[in-house]
Homo-oligomer: A and B are copies of this chain.
Amino acid sequence: MRYAARLFPSAAALLLPLTLALSGGSLRADEGMWTYDNLPTQVLKQRYGFEPTQAWLDKVRLSSVRFNDGGSGSFVSGNGLVLTNHHVARGQLQKVSTPEKDYIQHGFLARNPSEELRCPDLELNILVSMENVSAQVQGAVKPGMSEKEALEARKAVMAKLEKASLDATGLRSDIVTLYQGGEYWIYRYKKYTDIRLVFAPEQQIAFYGGDPDNFTFPRYDLDMALFRVYENGKAVQTPHLTWNPKGASDGDLVFVSGHPGRTERLNTMAQLEFNRDYGYPFYLSSLKRRLGVVKAFAARGAEEARQATGLIFGFENSLKAIGGELDGLRDKGLMAKKAADEADFRKRIAADPKLQQAYGDTWDVIAKAEQSQLPKFKELNFRRLGGYRLTGNALTLVRYAAEATKPDADRLEEFHEAGLESLRFRLISPAPFYIGLEEALLADSLQQSLEELGPEDPFIKAALGGRKPAEVAKALISGTQLAKPEFRKELLKGGAKAIAASKDPLVQWAVRLDPFLRETRKWHETQVESVTTPAGERLGKARFAVYGKNLSPDANFTLRLTFGTVKGYPMNGTVAPSKTTFYGLYDRAASFDHKAPFDLPSRYLERKDKLDLSTPLDFVASCDIIGGNSGSPVVNRSGEIVGLIFDGNIESLVGNMIYDDTANRAVAVHTAGMTEALRKLYDAESLVKELLEK
């Protein structure tokens, strides 16, 4: 399963250095996560004889939905129905479930609008317009400015542009950095927050095959969920994709419109090597440790298991994904290809004295900045609050109070005016907290920080005050009132005064530790980012000069269109087909004697004879996708939806670095399979009728 991977908060700082610069390289096969303003129309025309009209592009773009907690989706009816993956919907399913009603295990179907379940804190975005503001952003940096001054100037102008756009349009307005700073854009989103759950199958079938089958193909998952979007109490009427119940066929040209989260294809070798040697190994070992804690928690009882299931899924998913990426970084053949790309780029720059003068030293500048982090590596990664959602809420409340009163340009970037509404929406979510899980995770991350930093570290002293991590965690989590939405609402309203006066132990703890975290962050911004951001920008310009604009920018959770062919690939000595059928689902269940995770929900056994078993269930296409694309629609030449992206195959795990269409495949649920299941297994005939309405 592919996620934008926001599950592990402490990774954010670590992954920052990953997204900075770029190397050379030429276009490979169907490679490319294209922004809607720069599609490779020549390639599409020559290779596939297809020229999308502006109307086609507008419809697909306006039907594409961003799930702000990390995924994609699409409008599939004229009455606000949105299709995404079960695993994208999973967080909300967890939040609307109770110990008595477990919608993750048993699934959910609203037989009419009144049965739909409102999601506590889900925000969906539709990209309604894009504006190139490169000149303004890049122009803010004046000759003679120091690197620190340039960084500040750039931040100030971006905040100003966002705010001006918000004020002028009322739309959520985000500055988007493309080509590592080669271009800056404002992306404006229509935002929806009244989202209601309509349908989800049992997680057993949505995530059939569990962690073993995750990121592989052939696959037999019904990884789908349906929401309905409301505004002012009414289902919205928007552009949408027509449902094609026949679905994709072998050899078809198809498109995927969605929000890939993160690639590092344009990173320099120095950046890749830094991740290989330091970033990823650290991240993986932390993930493994945390997974053990959550599994131990789940083993305590049925209710604990219900609470922990989402995190277990998330950690296992990340372990398999990041593990695959690290395998790629350690693959000598693959790294040799990346090195050859970079060598070609540098040679072309060196061949032109003017380019060499302007850009020739950039790779070394970046390499030096990467290395400069090493002495600070432990501080950067282990001075953190850790824990889970309660600690995150505490810190955000503390910082909100401090930041929201500053001039917009002076704030930490996640507190810019343009994003505050979304932030407040998340902060006051009525979703439940799992206290035991919060405590176990906090205890373990504090323990790890203690082990890594040592008892004499000033941050550790402030965080623990000489007590044991488990004691501290217990005191903080059992003492805090933050699990109550009303309590959070009051702190939010009360501002700096309320925070200062608060006797809540977790709030006080966050207040005490925030200065350490700000200091670390500041150090990284001024010592590393202030170097790598302009260096990345220079490399972006250098690449335009040498290769033109025929590579797509690295993914950054903004809307992209990618294309490819429905086709099988060489696999493990034979060939994988381009699709699977319900026959295969029953084969896999019987092959494993119906043992978990290959067991089937009971309705699949009881209603088997109703199904046409030859109906396609999942399929693959050579489209270039990555985590964050989960839930994206697969669209055919006619602009109809023929599938639902939910994964990449095991061969695609190195896709963050390199795309190779020999075996890199996007994995999707087939619309024929979804239609057959809704009809024959879930008696959801009215939903099918809505999907099929023209």
The winner among A209, A215, A573, A598 for most chain B CB atoms within 10 A is A573
Contact of A580 among B578, B587, B598, B613 (CB under 8 A): B587
Q: Are B586 and A250 in contact (CB under 8 A)?
A: no
Residue-wise, chain A 213-249 has the 8 Å CB interface mask toward B (1 for contact) of 1111010000000000000000000000000000000
**Could you tell me the distance in whole angstroms from the C-beta of A653 to the nearest C-beta in chain B?**
8
Tell me, yes or no, whether A588 is within 8 Å of chain B by CB.
Answer: yes
Q: Are A613 and B592 in contact (CB under 8 A)?
A: no
A interface, how many residues as a size bin? Answer: 35 or more
Q: Are B574 and A572 in contact (CB under 8 A)?
A: no
Q: Given the known inter-chain contacts A583-B587, A583-B590, A587-B581, please indicate yes or no for A573 contacting B216, CB distance below 8 A.
A: yes
Interface residues of A in 560-607 (CB under 8 A from B): 568, 571-575, 577-581, 583-584, 586-588, 590-593, 598
Tell me, yes or no, whether A292 is within 8 Å of chain B by CB.
Answer: no
Q: Are A584 and B587 in contact (CB under 8 A)?
A: yes
In the complex the two chains form, what is the Cα distance from A579 to B587 in whole Å?
9
Tell me, yes or no, whether A212 is within 8 Å of chain B by CB.
Answer: yes
Tell me, yes or no, whether A650 is within 8 Å of chain B by CB.
Answer: yes
Tell me, yes or no, whether A285 is within 8 Å of chain B by CB.
Answer: no
In the complex, the chain B residue whose C-beta lies closest to that of A586 is: B583
Copies of this chain held together in the complex: 2
Contact of A572 among B216, B578, B598 (CB under 8 A): B216
Tell me, yes or no, whether A614 is within 8 Å of chain B by CB.
Answer: yes
Chain B residue numbers with a CB within 8 Å of A578 are 591
Q: Are A581 and B571 in contact (CB under 8 A)?
A: no
Q: Are B574 and A584 in contact (CB under 8 A)?
A: no
Interface residues of A in 162-213 (CB under 8 A from B): 209, 212-213
The winner among A581, A583, A593 for most chain B CB atoms within 10 A is A583
Q: Are A586 and B572 in contact (CB under 8 A)?
A: no
In the complex the two chains form, what is the Cα distance from A577 to B588 in whole Å?
8
In the complex the two chains form, what is the Cα distance from A324 to B572 in whole Å?
12
Chain B residue numbers with a CB within 8 Å of A574 are 209, 212-214, 216, 650
Chain B residue numbers with a CB within 8 Å of A584 are 583-584, 587-588, 591
Q: Given the known inter-chain contacts A218-B591, A591-B218, please indicate yes or no for A586 contacting B573, CB distance below 8 A.
A: no
In the complex the two chains form, what is the Cα distance from A578 to B614 in whole Å?
24
**Could you tell me the distance in whole angstroms from the C-beta of A621 to the nearest C-beta in chain B?**
15
In the complex the two chains form, what is the Cα distance from A250 to B598 in whole Å?
15
In the complex the two chains form, what is the Cα distance from A587 to B577 in whole Å?
10
**Could you tell me the distance in whole angstroms from the C-beta of A483 to the nearest C-beta in chain B?**
38
In the complex the two chains form, what is the Cα distance from A614 to B664 in whole Å?
32
Q: Are A593 and B250 in contact (CB under 8 A)?
A: yes
**Could you tell me the distance in whole angstroms from the C-beta of A581 to the nearest C-beta in chain B?**
5
Chain B residue numbers with a CB within 8 Å of A649 are 573
In the complex, the chain B residue whose C-beta lies closest to that of A588 is: B577
In the complex, the chain B residue whose C-beta lies closest to that of A582 is: B587
**Could you tell me the distance in whole angstroms from the C-beta of A221 to the nearest C-beta in chain B?**
12
Q: Are B588 and A614 in contact (CB under 8 A)?
A: no
Chain B residue numbers with a CB within 8 Å of A218 are 591
Q: Are A650 and B209 in contact (CB under 8 A)?
A: no
The winner among A209, A214, A320, A614 for most chain B CB atoms within 10 A is A614
In the complex the two chains form, what is the Cα distance from A568 to B402 in whole Å?
57
**Could you tell me the distance in whole angstroms from the C-beta of A660 to the nearest C-beta in chain B?**
16
In the complex the two chains form, what is the Cα distance from A586 to B586 in whole Å?
11
In the complex, the chain B residue whose C-beta lies closest to that of A594 is: B614
In the complex, the chain B residue whose C-beta lies closest to that of A618 is: B591
In the complex the two chains form, what is the Cα distance from A215 to B577 in whole Å?
17
Chain B residue numbers with a CB within 8 Å of A616 are 590
Chain B residue numbers with a CB within 8 Å of A571 are 572
In the complex the two chains form, what is the Cα distance from A575 to B650 in whole Å?
12
In the complex the two chains form, what is the Cα distance from A55 to B212 in whole Å?
43
In the complex the two chains form, what is the Cα distance from A649 to B572 in whole Å?
9
**Could you tell me the distance in whole angstroms from the C-beta of A318 to the nearest C-beta in chain B?**
15
Chain B residue numbers with a CB within 8 Å of A650 are 572-574
Q: Are B577 and A592 in contact (CB under 8 A)?
A: yes
Chain B residue numbers with a CB within 8 Å of A250 are 593
In the complex the two chains form, what is the Cα distance from A616 to B579 in whole Å?
23
In the complex, the chain B residue whose C-beta lies closest to that of A649 is: B573
**Could you tell me the distance in whole angstroms from the C-beta of A519 to the nearest C-beta in chain B?**
42
**Could you tell me the distance in whole angstroms from the C-beta of A591 to the nearest C-beta in chain B?**
4
Cross-chain pairs A/B with CB under 8 angstroms, 19 sampled:
A209-B574, A215-B573, A216-B572, A218-B591, A571-B572, A572-B572, A572-B650, A573-B649, A574-B650, A577-B598, A581-B586, A583-B586, A583-B587, A583-B613, A584-B584, A584-B591, A586-B613, A586-B614, A590-B616
Q: Which 10 A-B pairs have the closest CB atoms?
A: A573-B650, A584-B587, A577-B591, A583-B587, A216-B574, A216-B573, A590-B614, A583-B586, A212-B574, A581-B590
Given contacts A212-B575, A218-B591, A590-B616, 19 further A-B contacts (CB under 8 A): A209-B574, A215-B573, A216-B573, A216-B574, A250-B593, A324-B573, A571-B572, A572-B650, A573-B650, A579-B591, A580-B591, A581-B586, A581-B587, A581-B590, A581-B591, A583-B584, A584-B584, A584-B591, A587-B587
